Structure formats: C-alpha cells, structure tokens
Amino acid sequence: MNILPHNHLASIIKIKHSECKARALGAQESEMEMKERIAVDPNIHFGKPCVAGTRITVQNVLELIREGLSFKEIIQDYYPDLEIEDIQACIQYAIDVVAAEDIHVAAVAA
C-alpha cells in the first residue's frame, strides 16, 4: 500500500513582537533542517524519498509509525542509525506532500 504519491514534493500569547519574530525564525530554521534530512536520489529506491545518507525510505518509517511503534522502538529495533529528528522529518515530509496535493472532487450523478 502506498502512503504517499510518487511526486514530491503557534500559538503564542502575550509575547513581545521581537520574541515572536525570533521564534518564527527558529521554526523556519528547524523546518529547513528537517527538509535537509530527506533526500530523493533516482539511484536509491527508484527515487523514493529516503532519510538522507541512508537507504531508509520515508514510507518505511511512516508504516512503522502507523503500526503504533514509538520513535524509540523504531530506532532501537529497526533503524539504529536514525535520530528522532529523522523520524520527525519523515512525518513533516508527509505533511508537506499532503498540503501540496491538489484534490479534485467530481460530482457523482445520483
């Protein structure tokens, strides 16, 4: 079963404006770091997105999460080379793909 299509792709209360801006910049940096943790190489797993520097596909990680495994279990029992941030990057990748996906709904005749 394919989880992802093939093509890729704060609540802050009463905080000073400068603190809000600093937090926003930090979130952008962390999002950029997450995106760097996922790589697409046509020579690895036919171009499926993988954790950078590995042959571990985003799909494999997401399937383990779907099965109810904790991040710790995934690292300990399946992929000891991963870091928690790698797993979070896989989730963020899936979110980004769904957010970018165009869904066209057609009316069905009754």
* Count: domains in the chain: 1
Angle between helices 84-100 and 58-66 (to 10 degrees): 100
**46 within some domain:** yes
**72 within some domain:** yes
The number of beta carbons lying within 10 Å of the beta carbon of residue 51 is 24
**27 within some domain:** yes
pLDDT at 9: 33
Question: pLDDT by residue for the chain (110 residues), tens digit each?
Answer: 433 343 333 332 233 334 434 444 455 556 677 779 999 999 999 999 999 999 999 999 999 999 999 999 999 999 999 999 999 999 999 999 999 988 888 888 87
**63 within some domain:** yes
Range of 54's domain? 17-100
pLDDT at 28: 52
**7 within some domain:** no
**What one-character-per-residue DSSP string does 46-95 give?**
GG--EETTSS-BHHHHHHHHHTT--HHHIIIII-TT--HHHHHHHHHHHH
Report the CATH number at residue 41.
1.10.10.10
